[in-house]
Amino acid sequence: MKVCTGIALGVVALALSQGCQPATAGPDVTGRWAGTFKLERNENSTDAEAAAANLLGAGTNALELKSDGTYRMNLAIFPLEGNWKQTGTTVTLTPTKVLGKEITEADRKRDDSLTNPYVLEFDAKADTLTMREATKQGTGVMVYKRAETKTDSPALQEK
Rg (CA), the chain: 21
Q: Would you give the end-to-end CA distance of the chain in angstroms?
A: 69
Domain boundaries defined on the chain: 25-148
pTM: 0.71
| Position 150 confidence tier, pLDDT thresholds 50, 70, 90 | low
Q: Can you tell me the distance from the alpha carbon of 93 to that of 117, in angstroms, rounded to the nearest whole number?
A: 5
Q: How much of the chain, in percent, has pLDDT values that exceed 90?
A: 40
Q: Which of 50, 59, 57 is nearest to 79 (CA)?
A: 59
Q: Report CA-CA distances (Å) from 134 to 24, 39, 114, 145.
A: 31, 10, 14, 21
Contact between 75 and 63 under an 8 Å Cβ cutoff? The reply is: no
Q: Can you tell me the distance from the alpha carbon of 82 to that of 72, in angstroms, rounded to the nearest whole number?
A: 7
Q: Residues 32-68: pLDDT tens digits?
A: 999 988 877 777 777 776 776 666 666 678 999 999 9
Contact between 143 and 63 under an 8 Å Cβ cutoff? The reply is: no
Query: What pLDDT is stored for residue 10 in this prediction?
Result: 39
Q: What's the fold here for domain 25-148?
A: Lipocalin (2.40.128)
| Position 108 confidence tier, pLDDT thresholds 50, 70, 90 | confident
Q: Which of 75, 80, 26 is nearest to 55 (CA)?
A: 75
**CA angle at 147 for the pair 146 and 152, rounded to the nearest 5°:** 160
Q: Can you tell me the distance from the alpha carbon of 3 to that of 99, in angstroms, rounded to the nearest whole number?
A: 66
Mean of pLDDT over the chain: 77
Amino acid type, 2: K
